[in-house]
Structure 1
Amino acid sequence: MRLGITMFTTDRTMPVHDLAREAEDRGFASLYIPEHTHIPVSRRTPPPTGVEVLPEEYGRTPDPFVALAAAAALTGTIRLGTGVCLPAQRDPIVTAKAVATLDRVSGGRFTLGVGYGWNAEEAADHGVPWKRRRAMTREHVLAMRELWEREEASFAGEFVAFEACWSWPKPAGRVPVLLGGAAGPTLFSHIAEYGDGWMPIGGAGLREALPALREACAAAGREGVEVVPFGTLPTPGKLDHYAGLGVTEVVLRVPAGDREAVLPVLDDYAGAYL
């Protein structure tokens, strides 16, 4: 079972390219970083973690594609991904180009982790109708897939439409798309339709959820969909549990800090679990 890491990266934490190099040197398989384009000062939407005040770090995340491109230039084997990107808040044509370029720069090492978003104010600034954000995310990913995989791509949907066009470079290979979110029929139907896997936060309740995911995938004629527990705080028993469920990758959480805070945790994880 592969082990990756994720950190809530900001302009005040260990730089992404430095973190990627250190993680690769220790044998970790992947690095995922989050995305927020901006954070409105208004707090009509409660913080997702249940705290009273939203931590400042949410408004300080770097652009994931730029940061991961720097990481790609300094590494050779570690997979690089978003955990998670918010496609509904991005132009799909521009984002498809960024993803394809990053995948080629990295030699086919990019994974697109996708989320629907939790911050209604942030989404509103991008013109995202809140109750339709899942449908918009779906269309944006499907449109990007067309641009990645077809010589002449076109798309006609509710939120995205473009006539036959050329868009190069193409990715080095198929870009895996992992969907984040809580277990449920809507998420599982989307994974079965256009995703390559599920990124459940932490992984609690995984055993109970897997039959429904597999049923949704089977109904869509899909096999081999990955499950990647994300942001996990590891214990030997927890990792053994995931391995027993057929999980092939777990992404471990490291603290959002500088080298002095992060490297000892990487060393501890590597020594205990790799």
Structure 2
Amino acid sequence: MRLGVTMFATDRAMPVPELAVAAERRGFTSLYLPEHTHIPVSRATPPPTGDPVLPEEYARTLDPLVALAAAASVTSRIVLGTGVTLIAEREPIVTAKAVATLDHLSGGRVVLGVGFGWNREEAADHGVRWDTRRDRAREHVLAMRALWERDEASYEGEHVRLAPSWAWPKPARPIPVLLGGAAGPTLFRHIAEYGDGWLPIGGAGIRAALPALRDACARAGRDPVPVIAFGTEPTLGKLDHYASLGIEEVVLRLPSGPRDEVLSVLDTYAATYLPARADQTS
């Protein structure tokens, strides 16, 4: 089972290029970064963490694609993922170009984790009506796929209209699109239609949800998709449980903090959960 890491990358946390190098040297498979463009001061939407006050890192989050580009320039193997991109809030033509460019420059190491968001005020500032965010996300991904996969791309939907167009670079290989969110028929229907895997945040409830996900894929005429347990606070028992379910990758949560704090946790994870490390140099 592969192990990756994720961290809220901010202007006060360990620099992403340093984290990417440290994770790659220790043998971690992937590095995922989350996204928030901004956090409106109005807190009409309660924090998803259940805390009375939203943690500061949500407002200080770096742009994940820019940060991952910096990581790509100093690494050669580690997979570079978003966990998750708020794709309904992004203009799809520009985003398709940015993602394809990152994949091209990194030698085909990009995984695009996408989500539908939880912050109504943030979405509203992007002109996204809350009840349309899932439909917008779907169309944005489909339009982006057209730009990645076709020499002459076009798309016609309710929210995206793209006349026949040329756009290069093309990704080095088909970019996996992983959909994040809680288990449910709507999410699983979307995964079966246009996703390449499920990214359950926190990893809870996977066993109970797997049959429904497999059924959704079967109804869409496709094989079961991978499940990547995301943002996990690990224990040996938890990882053994995931392995018994056939989970191929688990992404471990790191603190959003300074270098010494992050490396301490990273070293503990590596020593405890990785069978071997390629390099122990910090």
1:93-150 Cα deviation digits (max 9, x unpaired): 0000000000011100000000000000000000001011001000000100000000
State how far apart, in whole Å, the 2-side matches of 1:260 and 1:18 are: 11
TM-score for both structures, normalised by structure 1: 0.99
State how far apart, in whole Å, the 1-side matches of 2:89 and 2:202 are: 25
Question: What amino acid is aligned across from residue 261 of structure 2 in structure 1?
Answer: A
What does residue 87 of structure 1 align with? 87
What does residue 227 of structure 1 align with? 227
What does residue 188 of structure 1 align with? 188
Give 3-state SS (helix, strand or coil) of 1:151's partner.
Answer: coil
- Counterpart check, 1:124 vs 2:124: yes
- Counterparts of 1:1-274 in structure 2, within 5 Å, are 1-274=1-274
Offset at residue 64 of structure 1 (A): 0.7
Question: What amino acid is aligned across from residue 166 of structure 1 in structure 2?
Answer: W
State how far apart, in whole Å, the 2-side matches of 1:100 and 1:187 are: 25
Give 3-state SS (helix, strand or coil) of 1:229's partner.
Answer: strand
State how far apart, in whole Å, the 1-side matches of 2:84 and 2:189 are: 19
Offset at residue 54 of structure 1 (A): 1.2
1:64-102 Cα deviation digits (max 9, x unpaired): 111100100100000000000011101000000000000
Q: Bigger CA drift: 57-66 or 183-192? A: 57-66
The count of residues paired between Structure 1 and Structure 2 equals: 274
State how far apart, in whole Å, the 2-side matches of 1:203 and 1:82 are: 16
- In angstroms, what is the RMSD of aligned CA positions? 0.7
Question: What amino acid is aligned across from residue 125 of structure 2 in structure 1?
Answer: D
Offset at residue 60 of structure 1 (A): 0.7
Q: Bigger CA drift: 27-36 or 43-52? A: 43-52
Identity %: 72
TM-score for both structures, normalised by structure 2: 0.96
Provide structure 1 residue ranges, at least 5 long, that are not aligned to the other structure.
Answer: none
Offset at residue 162 of structure 1 (A): 1.2
1:212-258 Cα deviation digits (max 9, x unpaired): 00000011111141100000011111111111101000000011111
State how far apart, in whole Å, the 2-side matches of 1:247 and 1:57 are: 29
1:6-32 Cα deviation digits (max 9, x unpaired): 011110000111110100000000000
State how far apart, in whole Å, the 2-side matches of 1:172 and 1:35 are: 24
Question: What amino acid is aligned across from residue 36 of structure 1 in structure 2?
Answer: H
